[in-house]
Structure 1
Amino acid sequence: MGAGRQLWRGGRARLSVDHGWRSTQFTRSTRSTRSTRSRLRVPQDSAPRRRAGGCTGRTHPQTGAPPCRTLAPAYPGFEVEVESLNADTSPIEKVTVPQIVDSLAALVQGLDKPLVLIGHSAGGVFVQLLLDRGLGAAGVAINSAPTEGVAVLPLAQIKSAFPVLKNPANRHRAVGLTFEQWHYAFTNTFPEEESRALYERYAVPASGSIFWDSALATLRPGHQSIYVNYHNGDRPPLLFVSGEKDHLMPPKVQHSNAKHYKSHTVTEVKEYPGMPHLLPAAPGWEAVADGALDWAVAHAR
């Protein structure tokens, strides 16, 4: 599950990466992998809250503060390596949003400290759903997919999602992308050679079910699986981190999502120039990580 792993160990950067509705964990100096999803952070000391700069995802370059404890739980059925998910896609076909969120909620509720919740892409939706339940001390949604009611649909997003949404039968399938499709959606700012290496090592099919449920959520009557109460005044603070060059979840999506929240709780958006959807693996990710976690611990309640 990744519980207790530090983001930095022996000077090597380690982070969790959500590839849309799939993910890996990798170390930049190796090619080892772990199947992971949303990231949960716990300060290693006994204090439930710390000021900005007091707890980071790595040894803080200015303050020298130690890393946070990081939990990277797998989604139900995803407790295997990338190769296994590519060989047997049935876990991807079967998994649902309620299953994922309930499993994450059970983990959070079983811990003795409030957490900073961090999720990328679909993981950003799951962070919002957990916050809506009153869980977490603060949340960070990185290049987040939209929650129910966010109807903005940029052209780049349509092109990125088209391989999954072009066929209604894909709703019950795990849908793989070609390298060209994956490069456009996830790594459009990367050199082709680096992008292809990431694709060949880490890409697995996307959940057609979750893609289609997200696309139809705003059109269906009643509350769907990605519904949040935008008027929930008890929701912990939320930061949207957006990459300027993201094709799959462009900045317009995060700005629109943030504007839907109508309560007095803190909701902010920070956009990073030049960053693609696979922001956690892009050059300069360290500054994004430090900034996001500094914001979270400063606003944590």
Structure 2
Amino acid sequence: MAGNARAVVFIHGLWLHPSSWAPWLELFEQAGYRPVAPGWPGVADTVEAARADPGAIADHGIDDVVAHYAGIIAELPGSPVVVGHSFGGMIAEKLLGQERAAAAVAIDAAQIKGVLPLPLSALRATFPVFSNPANRHRAVSLTEKQFRFAFGNAVSEEESDALYEKWTIPAPGKPLFEAAAANLSANSPAKVDTGNEQRGPLLLMTGGRDHTVPESITRATAKQYRHSSAVTDLHEFPDRGHSLTIDSGWREVADTALDWLAKQGL
């Protein structure tokens, strides 16, 4: 890899360990990038260690995560591309709006301030957190059945269970509570500078069978960027669910991101 290769920062979402990006890191390195996948604040280096210490992950909110990744980006040579999934997609959007990244790919990105649709499937997917208000300050784990609905509904039950066993970790409830209240707060952490004319290009990806971040949320997110002339593209994978970055079809999603970056001159 060339010494001046552009960095790509991969940002995981809730319930997945950063090591779940491993196949993407290899592919992007082969494509000439310098990829890294740091975890959220408090996330241990391995899945097993993260499961063993959920308290270290708990009570980190959106602003904490943005500041964490902004600090990582500040240490990189040049402006990176950021690629995020789920809440990591929202974080990627915020970093792009703050002009901390050259471009962003937001995959099934969590709902930002201003997005109004709230499909029933999204409520069901996040019920394990919202079922108890005290979970705002806790880390919450999913059961295999809950993961199957929220992530693995578009793959076989066998594959969903294997993904659950390999990659899932507890997740802080705080970001979900913050996003849920976003439209009631002028200064919500879920607010993104969607009107920024100077930011780099953004690709929003959506899975047509996603229960956690349904297509309607991603399309409503795209509309939030209508007042900016900066590039905002939308790509749908009609038959994919929320596990699209880690399941057996991950390569199609990754190749789509690489092709789009090439078209942006990145």
Shorter-chain TM-score above 0.5 = yes
Alpha-carbon distance between aligned partners in 1 of 2:37 and 2:53, rounded to the nearest angstrom: 22
Q: Amino acid of the residue matched to residue 64 of structure 2?
A: Q
Distance 1:199 1:40, change over 3 A: closer
Q: Which moved more, 1:262-271 or 1:79-88?
A: 79-88
Distance 1:160 1:137, change over 3 A: same
Where does residue 210 of structure 1 map in the other structure?
Answer: 175
- Partner residue of 2:193 out of 206, 229, 234: 229
Runs of 4+ in 1 over 4 A off after TM superposition: 26-29
TM-score (norm 2): 0.88
Alpha-carbon distance between aligned partners in 1 of 2:247 and 2:42, rounded to the nearest angstrom: 28
Give the deviation of 1:298 after TM superposition. Answer: 2.1
Alpha-carbon distance between aligned partners in 2 of 1:235 and 1:156, rounded to the nearest angstrom: 32
Where does residue 102 of structure 1 map in the other structure?
Answer: 67
Aligned length: 259
- Partner residue of 1:124 out of 82, 89, 92: 89
Q: Give the 5 Å matches for 1:183-198.
A: 183-198=148-163
Q: Percent identical across equivalent pairs?
A: 37
Deviations 1:134-172 (A, max 9, x none): 121111000110111212111111111112112212111
Deviations 1:218-238 (A, max 9, x none): 123x21112112221112111
Give the deviation of 1:260 after TM superposition. Answer: 0.6
Where does residue 25 of structure 1 map in the other structure?
Answer: 19
Give the deviation of 1:57 after TM superposition. Answer: 2.1
Bigger proportion of residues as helix: 2
Give the deviation of 1:58 after TM superposition. Answer: 6.0
Structure whose alpha-carbon radius of gyration is higher: 1
Backbone CA RMSD of aligned residues? 2.6
- Partner residue of 1:111 out of 76, 81, 106: 76
Query: Gaps (5+ residues) in structure 2?
Result: 4-9
Distance 1:26 1:130, change over 3 A: closer
Where does residue 254 of structure 1 map in the other structure?
Answer: 218
Distance 1:185 1:270, change over 3 A: same
Is this contact kept in 2: 1:135–1:236, CA < 8 A?
A: no
Is this contact kept in 2: 1:245–1:276, CA < 8 A?
A: yes
Where does residue 240 of structure 1 map in the other structure?
Answer: 204
Where does residue 131 of structure 2 map in the other structure?
Answer: 166
- Partner residue of 1:149 out of 78, 95, 114: 114
Query: What SS does the aligned partner of 2:83 have?
Result: strand
Is this contact kept in 1: 2:11–2:38, CA < 8 A?
A: no
Does residue 177 in structure 1 map to residue 142 in structure 2? yes
Query: Gaps (5+ residues) in structure 1?
Result: 5-15, 30-38, 42-55, 60-65
Is this contact kept in 2: 1:40–1:118, CA < 8 A?
A: no
TM-score (norm 1): 0.78
Alpha-carbon distance between aligned partners in 2 of 1:146 and 1:40, rounded to the nearest angstrom: 26
Alpha-carbon distance between aligned partners in 1 of 2:38 and 2:263, rounded to the nearest angstrom: 25
